[in-house]
Chains A and B, each alone.
Chain A
C-alpha cells in the first residue's frame, strides 16, 4: 500500500466514514468546491454532493451550533474551522451548549470540530494557535491531537464514531511533511490511549502533536551524545488523558519532562504535572520539568517564532538537567 501524508490520512478517514455512514456530513467555510484552505476536504463535495459537504457563511457559532442541532437528530456532523484559531469565535457554543448537552438535557451531541492548528509555519498570532488548554477545562468535550498520519486517520474515524463531541486538532506543520503506510482494514485508533513513540529507561518525555517529532529528534541526539535512553510518550488524546500511560512511564524512568508547543502558563503541562504528583510522586527522582512556548502571542517573523517555540535543543537541555539528578 502506498504511503500517504498526514493530511491525506485525514481526508481518507473523512471519505471512508462518509461512505460508511450516510449521517456523516461536513460543514465549514470554503470546504466544498474549493476543498478547504488546506485542501483537506478536496474531492469530498464532488463525491458526496453539496448537501453533505456544505459551504457555510463565515459563522463559527452557526457552524458549531447547527452541527449540535443536527447531531441531536442523529446526524454525525464534522465541522471545519478554517484555522483552529477561529474556534474561539464559537467558544460559547462549544462550552456552554455542546459540552453540557448530554449532562443537562440528555441530548446526544456526536460531532467533530476539526481544524489546522499549531505553529512552526510563520503563520503569526492568528494562524498558529494551539487551543487545547482553553478546552481542557471544560467537562463534556473530548480532544485529540495526533502526531502521525496513521493516528490522524484512526483518531478521525474514532472521533466521528464517538457519541460525544470531539475536538480534533490537526497540526498543519505535519500536514505534508510526514507520510506513512496506513494500517489495513477499518483502522480506528481508540480515544484516550497514549502511544509509546520511543522506548527508553532513563528519562520520560510526555508530549503530543508536532513536539513529538522535536522530542524524538532530541532523544536521538541524547542517545548519540550522552548515551541516555529517553522514552517519548505521545499522548494523542488530551481529553480523556491516559493517566495509566503517564504513571507507567514515570514509574519506569523516575524522571519526567513535559513538552508542548502551546504557551506555558495554564497550559496542559501544568495539568500533567499535577497528575504525576497525584499518581506517582513516590517514584520521582527529580522535579518535573516542562518545555513549552514562552507566554507571548506567537510572533510571525522566523527569528521570533523560532525563539518562542520549543526546539529540539531546548528539550536536550532539559533532559540533561533531569538526568543529572
Chain B
C-alpha cells in the first residue's frame, strides 16, 4: 500500500481515496497537511536544540534523536483522534508523536535538563513522561513492556464501551521480547482496539535487523497472532498516516488489533554518544541525501501549491517557540532534594528520611550535578 511521493498531493491522491477509504491523505485539508509539516519540523528543530544544550552539558544524561524518523512518528500519531480521547504510548524515537498529542517543547526541555518543574519532577529522563488527559503514556526502558500496558488501557476502553483507540510504538528490536509477544497476543484474543506500530529503523542499538529476527518481514508476525497488518514507507508522512488510519479505523469499528510496520532509517546512533561504527560506509549519507522525510514532504507540499515562504514562516515560528521554551527551561529550578521521598505510594504519601539525612537538604549542593550519567554517556 506504500505510495511514492509523486502520488501524494492535492490532485494525485484520488486513487488512494477509493482503495484506502475516505481517510486517505487526499482527505486531509491543506491546514492539516501544513500541520504535519509543523510537527515534523518541530521534532527536528527541538532535537537540534537539545544537541546544542547537550554540548553545553545542560542536558543531564543521554540524548536520543529521531533524525530521519520524524515522519513515521508524526504521521502515525496524526491518525488518532484526540477529540475522542485516543491514547498512545511512544518509544524513544517518537518525540513527534508526543508533540502531536500536545506535549510541549518546554516540557521536553525541562525533562532533558532534569528540572524540578519538569513533568516527572526530575524523577525520569528525556521523553519518558505522559499525560492521560492529552493522551500519551510514558514509556519505560524495558522494551516491549508498553504493549501489555496498552493492551490493558484499550481493554478498559472495550469494557466501558468507550469509542477510543490506543496506539503503542515498538522498534524492530522490541519484537524479540516476551512482553511484545504476550501483549500483542493478549490484545488480539481480547480484540482490544489497539494499533501496534513497529517502527523498523534497521537497528536496535548496534544490532541490525538480520541479527534480530529470521522473519522476512516484521509484518509477517501478525499472521501468527491472527491480526491484520499494514505496512508503509515510514519516511512518507502521508503514507504513514494512511496506513495507521486504516488500522485506527479497524480498531474503532471493533476489528481488533493491527500491526503496522513502518520502514524507516535511524540516521543517528542509539544515543548521542554512539559513534555508529557498526554502520556500513555510505549508508547514512544515502538516506540523508535521497530519503529525508522532511525534504521529501517539502517537495510534496510545493508540488501541491504551497509556497516556500509559507514553510519558512512555520520554521520561523518554531524557532521562536523553541527559543522561548529554552530560556524558560534554563531558568527552571532543579528539584528540591527531599522531593525524592514523595509519592512512592498514595498512602503513605511521603517516606521518612533516613536518620543520617534528617535535617540535611541533600548530600550535594543544589546546583551540583554529575556531568554525565549512567550507561548512556559511558
Binding site for B on A (CB under 8 A): 25, 51-52, 54, 56-57, 59-75, 77, 92-93, 96-97, 100, 102-108, 139-140, 142, 162-164, 240
A103 touches B155 (CB 8 A): no
Q: Which among B130, B186, B344, B346 is the interface contact of A56 at CB below 8 angstroms?
A: B186
B151 touches A73 (CB 8 A): no
CB distance from B144 to the nearest CB of A (A): 9
Tell me the complex Cα distance, A283–B206, Å: 59
Q: Which among A65, A142, A162 is the interface contact of B152 at CB below 8 angstroms?
A: A65
In the complex, which residues of chain B have a beta carbon less than 8 angstroms from the beta carbon of A59? 148, 182, 185-186
A164 touches B345 (CB 8 A): yes
- The A-contacting residues of B in range 91-147, CB under 8 angstroms, are 120, 123-124, 128-130, 132, 137-138, 140-142, 145, 147
In the complex, which residues of chain A have a beta carbon less than 8 angstroms from the beta carbon of B142? 92, 96-97
Most buried by A among B132, B142, B155: B155
Tell me the complex Cα distance, A96–B177, Å: 15
B148 touches A105 (CB 8 A): no
- Given that A62-B182, A66-B149 are known contacts, is A105 also in contact with B120, CB under 8 Å in the complex? yes
CB distance from B11 to the nearest CB of A (A): 43
- Given that A69-B149, A69-B151, A97-B140 are known contacts, is A102 also in contact with B343, CB under 8 Å in the complex? yes
In the complex, which residues of chain A have a beta carbon less than 8 angstroms from the beta carbon of B128? 104-105
B120 touches A65 (CB 8 A): no
Binding site for A on B (CB under 8 A): 120, 123-124, 128-130, 132, 137-138, 140-142, 145, 147-157, 159, 178-179, 182-183, 185-187, 189-190, 343-348, 351
- Given that A102-B344, A105-B138, A164-B346 are known contacts, is A61 also in contact with B183, CB under 8 Å in the complex? yes
CB distance from A159 to the nearest CB of B (A): 13
B156 touches A62 (CB 8 A): no
In the complex, which residues of chain A have a beta carbon less than 8 angstroms from the beta carbon of B145? 61, 65, 92-93, 96-97
Query: Given A62-B183, A105-B130, 20 other A-B contacts at CB below 8 A?
Result: A25-B159, A57-B186, A59-B186, A61-B182, A62-B182, A65-B145, A65-B148, A65-B152, A65-B179, A66-B183, A69-B151, A69-B152, A71-B152, A72-B149, A73-B153, A100-B140, A102-B343, A105-B138, A107-B132, A142-B345
A70 touches B156 (CB 8 A): yes
A69 touches B155 (CB 8 A): yes
* Residue in chain A with minimal CB distance to B192: A66
The 8 closest A-B pairs by CB, nearest first: A65-B148, A69-B152, A66-B152, A163-B346, A62-B186, A62-B182, A59-B182, A69-B153
CB distance from A109 to the nearest CB of B (A): 10
* Residue in chain B with minimal CB distance to A77: B152
In the complex, which residues of chain A have a beta carbon less than 8 angstroms from the beta carbon of B179? 61-62, 65, 92-93
A69 touches B148 (CB 8 A): yes
B346 touches A66 (CB 8 A): no
Tell me the complex Cα distance, A10–B185, Å: 30
Tell me the complex Cα distance, A97–B147, Å: 12
Instruction: Write 10 A-B pairs (CB below 8 A) sorted by A numbering.
Output: A59-B182, A61-B145, A61-B182, A66-B186, A68-B149, A69-B137, A69-B155, A92-B142, A104-B123, A164-B347
A66 touches B151 (CB 8 A): yes
B348 touches A240 (CB 8 A): yes
CB distance from B304 to the nearest CB of A (A): 40
In the complex, which residues of chain B have a beta carbon less than 8 angstroms from the beta carbon of A57? 182, 185-186, 189
A163 touches B148 (CB 8 A): no
In the complex, which residues of chain B have a beta carbon less than 8 angstroms from the beta carbon of A164? 345-347
In the complex, which residues of chain A have a beta carbon less than 8 angstroms from the beta carbon of B343? 102-103, 106
In the complex, which residues of chain B have a beta carbon less than 8 angstroms from the beta carbon of A108? 346
Q: Which among B130, B147, B187 is the interface contact of A107 at CB below 8 angstroms?
A: B130
In the complex, which residues of chain B have a beta carbon less than 8 angstroms from the beta carbon of A62? 148, 151, 179, 182-183, 185-186
CB contacts between A and B, total, < 8 Å:
137
In the complex, which residues of chain B have a beta carbon less than 8 angstroms from the beta carbon of A77? 152
Most buried by A among B156, B179, B346: B156
CB distance from A243 to the nearest CB of B (A): 10
Tell me the complex Cα distance, A63–B120, Å: 26
Tell me the complex Cα distance, A66–B179, Å: 11
CB distance from B259 to the nearest CB of A (A): 16
Tell me the complex Cα distance, A162–B347, Å: 9
- Given that A92-B142, A105-B138 are known contacts, is A70 also in contact with B189, CB under 8 Å in the complex? no
* Residue in chain A with minimal CB distance to B144: A61
B148 touches A61 (CB 8 A): yes
B189 touches A66 (CB 8 A): no
Q: Which among A61, A69, A102, A106 is the interface contact of B150 at CB below 8 angstroms?
A: A69
Tell me the complex Cα distance, A106–B141, Å: 17
CB distance from B118 to the nearest CB of A (A): 11
Tell me the complex Cα distance, A61–B142, Å: 12
Tell me the complex Cα distance, A75–B187, Å: 17
Tell me the complex Cα distance, A132–B268, Å: 43
A75 touches B183 (CB 8 A): no
In the complex, which residues of chain A have a beta carbon less than 8 angstroms from the beta carbon of B344? 102-103, 139-140
A70 touches B346 (CB 8 A): no
A105 touches B129 (CB 8 A): yes
Tell me the complex Cα distance, A104–B130, Å: 10
- Given that A96-B140, A97-B145, A140-B345 are known contacts, is A74 also in contact with B182, CB under 8 Å in the complex? no
A65 touches B130 (CB 8 A): no
Tell me the complex Cα distance, A69–B148, Å: 8
- Given that A57-B185, A62-B186, A96-B140 are known contacts, is A102 also in contact with B345, CB under 8 Å in the complex? yes
In the complex, which residues of chain B have a beta carbon less than 8 angstroms from the beta carbon of A142? 345
Tell me the complex Cα distance, A106–B130, Å: 9
* Residue in chain A with minimal CB distance to B168: A69
B148 touches A93 (CB 8 A): yes
CB distance from B60 to the nearest CB of A (A): 15
B137 touches A107 (CB 8 A): yes
CB distance from A99 to the nearest CB of B (A): 9
In the complex, which residues of chain A have a beta carbon less than 8 angstroms from the beta carbon of B345? 102, 140, 142, 163-164
In the complex, which residues of chain B have a beta carbon less than 8 angstroms from the beta carbon of A162? 346-347
B155 touches A70 (CB 8 A): yes
CB distance from A31 to the nearest CB of B (A): 14
Tell me the complex Cα distance, A142–B346, Å: 11
CB distance from A52 to the nearest CB of B (A): 8
Most buried by B among A68, A70, A92: A70
